[in-house]
Chain A
Amino acid sequence: MTEKQPTYNEAAQRLEAIVATLERGGLGLDETLKLYEEGAALLKTCQAELVAAEGRLNELRLEDLEQELQTQEAENQN
C-alpha cells in the first residue's frame, strides 16, 4: 500500500459513479471489465473501512491516560 488509501467516502463516491456508468451501458468489454475490477476493489476498500472502525473501547480518567501515554512513549525510546 504505497499510494494513499482513499477514505470511505471517496471510495463510495467513485463506486457510485462507476456503477452508474456501467448501468448506462454502451461501453466496450475492455472498459467494462476495467471498471468492474476497479469497482470490485473499491467495494473491498469500503468493507475494510467498516471493519477497521471496530476496536477497543477505552474509558479512562485524564491522569490515567496521561500516565499510560507517558509509559508507552518512554518504552518506545528505550
Chain B
Amino acid sequence: MTGRGEVTTGPLAVGQFVSMVKRTLSHEPMFQRQAIKGEVSQWKPYASGHTYFTLRDDEGQISAVIWKGRCSIHPSIKEGSEVVVTANLDLYVKRGNIQLVVERIEPVNTLGAMEEARRQLVERLANEGELDRERHQPPFAPKHIAIVTGEGSAALSDMQRLIDNRWPGLRRTVIGVLVQGDRAAEEIVRALALTRRLANPRTAALRGEPPVDLVIVGRGGGSPEDLWAFNLEPVVRAILASPVPVVSAVGHESDLLVSDLVADIRASTPSNAIERSVPIRAELEQWLDETDERLNLATLRTFGDARRQLIALHARLKVAPLAGINSGKRSMLALQSKLNRATEAMFAHERTRIVGLEASLHSIHPQRVLERGYAMTQTADGEVITNASMLTVGQRFNLQFVDGAAEAAVTEIHTTEE
C-alpha cells in the first residue's frame, strides 16, 4: 500500500489517486477471473466490435465490456438474459469508471430454469406418492420386449447385440425416436403410447404376437442437456401410465434422471437394462434338462422301492396260509396296477420328449449334409446303407448326391477292425 507519508506531504493528483486504486484492484485476486452471475441490461454491440452492457440484479449493478473477439457470445444472449461471466475488474482511469472486462459469457437461463423445473417435478411426484409407488414386477422371461430409443444409435446396437447373445431370436419391437432436442420428449411420449397399445392383448392378437410385457426406454450417454427429455413431466407421466414394467436406461452410471426415479427398474446404462431383464436362455434350458433328469430319477427310485416290495409280497404269498392269500393278493394287485400306471405315465412323458428330439433332428435336413460333399448310399429298395457289413460283393447300390444320383456296384469290402 501507499505509505501515509504521501498523504501528509500534500494533496494527491486525482489521476494519480485513481491509478493507485486501479493498481490495488488489479492486485486483488478476488477481482480477477471471477465468475459472476447476473442479468444483462443495456446490451450494446458497437460497430467497433466491442460490446458494452450492464450486469445487474436486484441488489446491484456494474458496467461490463466484451472486447472485440475476446470470447464467443451465445446468440441467445440479449437484453434480460441471465448470464454467468468470468471477468476481471478494471478501472478506466480517464473517467474513473469501474467496469468488468469479460473473458467468458454464458447464458444460464436455460439450464437454470430447467433445473428448477426438474426440482419442482420431483417434489410433485414425491407428494403424489409416485416415487415410492409399488413397482411392477418384471417378467422373469419376457416374451415381447419393446425398446424405445434413438433410431440407429450405438445404444440400440449394443442392446441388440446383448439380447442376441443372451437369448437369440427373442421377440422385440424397436421404436426409433429422437432422444435429444426439442422434439425428443414428444416422440418418446408417442412411442410409449404405442407400447401401451402393443401391450393390449387385443391389439397384440391382431398383430399375431404376444402382448408387449416389458418396455425399455433409454439412450446412451450425453451432456445433461442431451439427456434432458428424460427429466420432463410428459415422459415421466408416460412411464407411470405403462400397464407393463418399464426399464429406464439413460446415459451412464452417474446420470440420474427423473425417469429413473419413477421407472419399475432403473438400469445404469442401456446394456445394463438388457442384463437385468433378459435371462440367458441356454442356462434356463440347462436347468430344465437337469430338473427333468432329477424328476425322473427321484420317481424311479420310489418305483424301484415299490417293485422290490412287490417281489417280497409275491414271495411271501407263495408260502402264506390260505386265509391270508386273498388280502395279500389284493394289495399285490393294487401295487401292481399302480406301478403299471406310473410306468405308463413316465413312458408318455418320455415319448413327448423323444418326439421333440425327432423334430429337431428333422430340422437338420440331409440336404445340408449332401451340400457339404457327402453322398448317401441306398440299396435298390431305398434302404439307407449305414455300414459296410450290409453289403455283398457284386451288389448294386445307389449313391445320392445333392444334385442327383448314381448307380454303383460293390467290388470289394473292407471292414474296419476295432
Contact = CB atoms under 8 A, between A and B. Distances in A.
B338 interface: yes
B411 interface: no
Chain A binding surface SS class: helix
B140 interface: yes
Contacts of B143: 49, 52-53, 55
B344 to A, nearest CB: 10
A69 B167 CA distance: 27
B170 A29 contact: no
A35 to B, nearest CB: 8
Contact of B294 (A19, A29, A57): A19
A65 B148 CA distance: 12
Contacts of B198: 69
B140 A69 contact: no
Interface string A30-57: 1011011101100110110110111111
B206 A76 contact: yes
A62 interface: yes
Given A29-B335, A54-B169, A58-B174, A43 B295 contact: yes
B291 A22 contact: no
A44 B191 contact: no
Interface in B155-197: 167, 169-177, 187, 190-191, 194, 197
Interface stretch (B234-242, B298-306, B314-322): B298-306
Contacts of B298: 19, 22-23, 25
A62 B302 contact: no
A29 B295 contact: no
A7 B174 CA distance: 24
Contacts of B173: 56, 58-60, 65
A24 to B, nearest CB: 9
A33 to B, nearest CB: 5
Nearest to A18: B295
A54 B169 CA distance: 5
B295 A8 contact: no
Contact of A40 (B191, B301, B306, B345): B345
A72 interface: yes
B174 A8 contact: no
B302 A43 contact: no
A4 interface: no
Interface of B: 139-144, 151, 167, 169-177, 187, 190-191, 194, 197-198, 203, 206-207, 209-210, 281, 284-285, 287-288, 291-292, 294-295, 298-299, 301-303, 306, 335, 338-339, 341-342, 345-346, 349, 352, 356
Which 8 pairs show the lowest CB-CB distances between chains A and B? A55-B171, A9-B140, A22-B298, A59-B174, A58-B173, A40-B349, A8-B141, A54-B169
Given A22-B299, A58-B173, 14 more contacts: A7-B139, A8-B139, A15-B295, A32-B303, A35-B299, A37-B345, A49-B141, A50-B141, A53-B142, A53-B167, A54-B170, A56-B173, A59-B174, A62-B190
23 contacts: A8-B139, A9-B140, A15-B291, A18-B295, A19-B295, A22-B298, A29-B306, A29-B338, A33-B299, A36-B299, A46-B288, A50-B281, A50-B285, A50-B288, A53-B171, A56-B171, A57-B174, A59-B176, A62-B190, A62-B191, A69-B198, A72-B203, A72-B207
